Amino acid sequence: MSPPDARTAVHGDTAGGPPGPVPIPPSLAEGAGSTPAGAAWLDRLPGLVHRAVARWHLQLSEPFGVGTAAWTAPGTTADGTPVVLKISFPHDEAKYEAAALRMWHGLAAVELLDQHEQDWALLLRRAHPGTPMLHEATPAPARLQAGLDVLANLHGAPLTEHVPSQVEVSAYWAGLATERAARWAHLYPDAVEPIHWGVELLRAFGSPGAMPGPTVLLHGDLNPGNVLLDAPHGRTGHWLAIDPKPMAGDPGYDLWPLLSQLDQPFRYPDPPAEIAARVRLAETTLGVPARRICEWALARSVESILWQWETWQDPARQARTRDDLYQVQLWAGLLRH
């Protein structure tokens, strides 16, 4: 099946709801839809959307043009409540999203109004205006502090439902990273030490007894695109996390995306000084030791670049990704000092 795009009206099984077109954003067609399983899911997606519309009596607008593994669209319920319908491609990282949102019950995270587990469908209260922290105009230090405050609230939630163990996930990733580091060694001849150091840290974080501190409910992917401003009707706003990939584990795990992706700190005049200042602020706000933050950042940045090389396997794209080796080397440099 050729992946559809946003200009294509896609029809499917409409049992449980009125028939009609369901536009598929290009990001979703090129993401989940690029695999055989994902393409088959896109064939079923119109039926899933129509059932959700009928189940929750929704009026939906055009879907958001973002996301590679879920279809999302804004709308309202019969009583006028602003909502977002999210239907995820079935995969492990999305399996526990509803459980995490229930545990957070709207505290610094988007509120879950209802769920249909079989259809992988979530009904979420919509944030207004919903501006991602990545694109908001507030100066970077203020946004960083706000993001750290969001994390502090998320980590404070009681762990009352099952989510995957960060230790077990890290152990699995360490095995994959070891294989990938060997397979793509020709891509990092000038960064052998930090790459291997990052893989060893992943292995250490995946060992029993790897967490000397508290075990908390992790967001799992708190990059600044997954933190939205909620300030309806011009009222004083607050920030809400979305799209968790939750685990139970070390709070230091969650910091790397926020510290490194909030703006472009690696292009500052003095990147090591800028990153070190952000680490100190995170240590002060969350109580996570600075060294632990940097260890996780090195481990996760190495895992990320190895994943990209493994996933793309295109020499030109892999060569462009080698620029990320500077970030790996920077985190290793902070750990040496």
Catalytic positions, please? 221
**In terms of Cα–Cα distance, which of 67, 124, 94 is closest to 245?**
94
Alpha-carbon torsion (284, 333, 198, 183), positive or negative: positive
Whether 246 and 93 have beta carbons less than 8 Å apart is answered as no
**Alpha-carbon span 282 to 264, nearest angstrom:** 17
- Burial code (b: 16+ CB inside 10 Å, e: under 16) for 154-169 equals bbebeeeeebbebbeb
How many CB atoms neighbour CB 214 within 10 A?
12
**Alpha-carbon span 81 to 90, nearest angstrom:** 27
Whether 8 and 24 have beta carbons less than 8 Å apart is answered as yes
